[in-house]
Structure formats: structure tokens, C-alpha cells
Homo-oligomer: A and B are copies of this chain.
Amino acid sequence: MVTALELIDVEGVEALSLRRLAQALDRSAMALYRHAENKGDLLDGVVELLLEQVVLDADAPAWQDELRRVAHRFRGLALEHPNAVPLLLARSLSTPLGLRPLGMLRPLEAFLQLANRAGLDDAAAVAACRSFFGLLHGHVLDELQGVVAYPEERDDLLRLGLHRLPLGEFPRMRSLASAMSAYDGAAQLDRLLEALLVSLAADLPPSG
């Protein structure tokens, strides 16, 4: 499982085949079927391995801080394993909620418990959960988009490959090349979180 992740990290998701993995483990390809029923099971295993590393503490005293912490931890994980991000985000698109491996559900459960303790009612907790993870996944997805086309170039326009774009149709993108290069993902995530937390606070009973 951990070898599978390493393989993905250095060669990308599509380079992970049963034969390549078996070779890396000095086993035959078929031996892998003793530990996973499918290739899919194997990918789920990788996802679980990653998610184990981002534990949401349902008993955290300050829930806003805990959400910020977990969000940044998740982002960090994505930056460490960019090749695994498609897995992380897309595995659950194909698997119904109740049939997912438990490791993929633990963050959800912990969030819901936290929301509960923070005072949200059922409907608000579900909405908050989807807001939070939607936001998080969306941010990570966008931050990791391959932006740089030619890393060795010094000029921003050339580095991003934006010089290829027709002048007439894409004036803004071309003129914003350097603003795009200066993008700060962590700050951006903070902005999004702040907006979310404000909107969540509005759902709390007025007590405070």
C-alpha cells in the first residue's frame, strides 16, 4: 500500500499498474489479489492511507480553529502528493457513501460530530459538512492545476505558456500572468475558510 503510494508519487497515477507494483514488491502480479480484490480496492487503500494522516478531532475545544487546522493539513497533504490528488477527489465520485471504505468516512463523521457539539442542528450540520469539504476539495483542485508550462523560463508570460494565446481574445489572461505567478495558495484557502466560517456562524443559535 505504501509502496503503491510511492510509485504514484514518483510516476503518477496511471503508471500504477498491478505488474509495476508487483515488480516493486518483488512479487508476482497475481499475488496482489490476496490483499485486494480489485485494482479499485488498491486505490481505495491508497486513499485511506492518505486520509489517516489528516485526523479531525471531534472534541477540539475551538471548532473554528480545528477546521482551519484540518483544512491546511489536507492542503499540505495534497501538495506533498500531488499525483494522488485525482484519486483523493475522484474515488468517492464512483462509490456510494455507505459502501466507501471506513477510512474515507471518518473525516465526515468527525466533522458532523464537531458541528453537533458546536450547536448546529441536523440540517445545518449536513449543509456545513458539504460546504466545508466542497470548499476544501475545490480549493485543492484549483490550486494544483498545472499552471506552469515551462518551469525554466524567467518571464511569467512565457513560463505559463500564455504567449501562445491569441492576442485579441485573451487580453486579460496575458496581462495577468505575473499576478497569477504570485498566487499564494495558503492565503487563498484562508480567505475561503473565513468566508465559510462567517456564514456558518450565522446558522448558530443566537446564544453564542
Chain A residues engaging chain B, CB cutoff 8 angstroms: 85-86, 89-90, 92-99, 102, 105-106, 108-109, 112-113, 116, 122-123, 125-127, 130-131, 133-139, 141-149, 160-166, 169-173, 175-176, 179-180, 182-183, 188, 191-192, 194-196, 198-199
Contact = CB atoms under 8 A, between A and B. Distances in A.
A137 B141 contact: yes
Is chain A's interface secondary structure helix, strand, loop, or mixed overall?
A: helix
Nearest to A139: B134
A176 B95 contact: no
Given A125-B176, A141-B141, A195-B199, 7 more contacts: A86-B90, A93-B141, A97-B160, A97-B161, A99-B164, A130-B183, A137-B138
Contact of A191 (B109, B131, B194): B131
Given A176-B122, A195-B196, A170 B133 contact: no
Contact of A173 (B109, B123, B139, B188): B109
A102 B161 CA distance: 12
Contacts of A198: 195, 198
A74 B68 CA distance: 28
A4 to B, nearest CB: 19
